[in-house]
Chain A
């Protein structure tokens, strides 16, 4: 079984400050990792994903995340946030199947609400 823990339920920051949203996962097999963003009363939009290769993944809107296998983490970072980044962020994990080619069903974390203050 796999699980995801987002360590902070809410993160308040000031505009132009850096931010890190933390995500830890557990899985007994190889994983694929995702970060999604959700604006109020809307669906989820993919920010970035880690499938293989470089552990530093760059996504949309200036976000990046680093896959750390030894610490089973996939923290999301942005060096300078904007008011428009205010939203809820979800980390998700899926496990590779025996063939290592497919993503597996997604398991989501509980979400982190990022609030950017002027």
Chain B
């Protein structure tokens, strides 16, 4: 079955540590996205990528970094510079940059 996988489902980290969230898709989509979800705030765009080796900042990119070395993969690193990293993180993909988006199951990150 085609789809988007995110791992791990739950992630705990200590303050000051970097952590990387995985996102993989086998839908052959060109575009991929990372969103952050906080209660009552909807989804906010962190980074997006239109094509391999290219990515753009979204609305809340500070404290995050990404890479896009393969079409199928778009990992997100939450760095120690991110002031309030505890949140639910969602990865999405679309056929092209501005097409209908399909979402992964999410990763819940908790900073202890």
Taking Cβ atoms with an 8 Å cutoff, the residues of A that contact B are 4, 9, 34, 36, 41-46, 49, 90, 94, 97, 102-106, 108-111
Pick from B13-21, B66-74, B75-83, B94-102 the stretch touching chain A: B94-102
Contact B90 A94 (CB under 8 A): no
B40 CB within 8 Å of chain A: yes
Beyond A36-B103, A44-B92, A105-B48, 11 additional contacts (C-beta under 8 Å) are A34-B100, A41-B88, A41-B108, A43-B105, A44-B90, A44-B103, A97-B98, A103-B99, A104-B98, A106-B101, A108-B44
Q: A44-B90, A102-B96, A105-B98 are in contact. Are A111 and B103 (CB under 8 A)?
A: no
Give chain A nearest CB distance to B64 CB in angstroms.
17
Taking Cβ atoms with an 8 Å cutoff, the residues of B that contact A are 4, 6, 40-45, 48, 88, 90, 92, 96-106, 108
List the A side residues contacting B106 at CB < 8 Å: 41-43
Contact A45 B40 (CB under 8 A): no
Q: A41-B108, A43-B106, A45-B103 are in contact. Are A94 and B43 (CB under 8 A)?
A: no
List the A side residues contacting B44 at CB < 8 Å: 108
